Amino acid sequence: MTETDRSGRPADAFVPEPPVFLLSAAEARAAVPDLSRLLKSCVEDGAGIGFILPLSEEKAEAFWKDKLAGVEDGSAFVMVAKDGDNIAGVVMLMLATQDNGPHRAEVAKLMVHPDHRRKGLARKLMTAIDGLALSLDRWLLVLDTVTGDRAEKLYPTCGYKKAGVIPDYAYDSHGTLDATTVFYKDLR
Ligand SMILES: CC(C)(COP(=O)(O)OP(=O)(O)OC[C@H]1O[C@@H](n2cnc3c(N)ncnc32)[C@H](O)[C@@H]1OP(=O)(O)O)[C@@H](O)C(=O)NCCC(=O)NCCS
């Protein structure tokens, strides 16, 4: 059966430029071990992406398996950046499912393996996210990131505007409270 998004379009209608690839639900399922290793490497390197150390392989796998339901029902999309056959980076697009948000989506879990940073992979993933979102008529993108983190420097260079800062929003991977900066991008 062809996988479709929430508007009934084929989920593979958007084709990003390599080295970025949009995973089908079956590909995302098969990629869970690789995505889990990527998540673990990033968290162990200090990424503030929702986890506190130590992060077990089981917990990392459980996270991605939980996301598969959204990929299967067309409300979430996983795009990866590859180095050869290896997954070097990932980003997710999560469609707003509320009746009042058919134009909106959240960009989440952007991460690039520590060995592959500063080669432009995050920027390529963020460019591909714009194309994917537009292909789904989602023109308002939102995201948040740890205030002061390197990712906070990335998003304005990708056209995101800063909406504001929420103090003491989340614990970092070592258990200290950090502020978060909320960004948005209007693709119209
Ligand atoms: C943030 C992250 C995704 C950047 O990935 P990357 O592939 O290294 O980023 P790119 O090479 O595409 O860099 C794009 C731009 O981002 C900014 N940037 C990225 N890393 C930076 C750093 N360490 N210091 C300052 N600016 C940085 C720069 O503006 C850079 O452009 P430039 O290289 O032309 O100067 C990566 O460091 C990462 O995975 N961090 C951990 C996870 C995380 O925090 N994700 C964000 C969740 S909201």
Asked if residue 71 lies in contact with residue 80, where contact means CB atoms within 8 angstroms, the answer is no
Q: Distance between CA 174 and CA 135 in Å, rounded?
A: 39
DSSP-derived pairing of the beta strands 177-186 and 140-146: antiparallel
**Domain ranges, ordered by start, for the chain:** 20-138
Kindly state the DSSP code that residue 47 receives in the 8-state scheme: -
Distance CA 181, CA 139 (A): 20
**Protein residue with its CA nearest to atom 12 in ligand 1:** 120
Looking at residue 5, what is its pLDDT?
52
Residues 20-138, CATH architecture: 3-Layer(aba) Sandwich (3.40)
Dist. CA 119 → ligand 1 center (Å): 9
- Look at residue 1 in the predicted model and tell me its pLDDT: 37
The pLDDT score that the predictor gives to residue 70 is: 96
Tokens standing for 77? 């999309």
173 C-alpha vs ligand 1 centroid, how far in Å? 18
Digit-coded pLDDT (tens) for 5-15: 554 455 557 99
CB of 44 within 8 A of CB of 60? no
Q: What is the mean pLDDT of residues 53-71?
A: 95
pLDDT computed for residue 172 by the predictor: 87
Is residue 173 within 8 Å of 43, Cβ to Cβ? Answer: yes
What lines the ligand 1 site, CB under 6 Å? 42, 47, 49, 110-112, 117-123, 145, 149-151, 153-154, 157
pLDDT (average), residues 49-74: 94
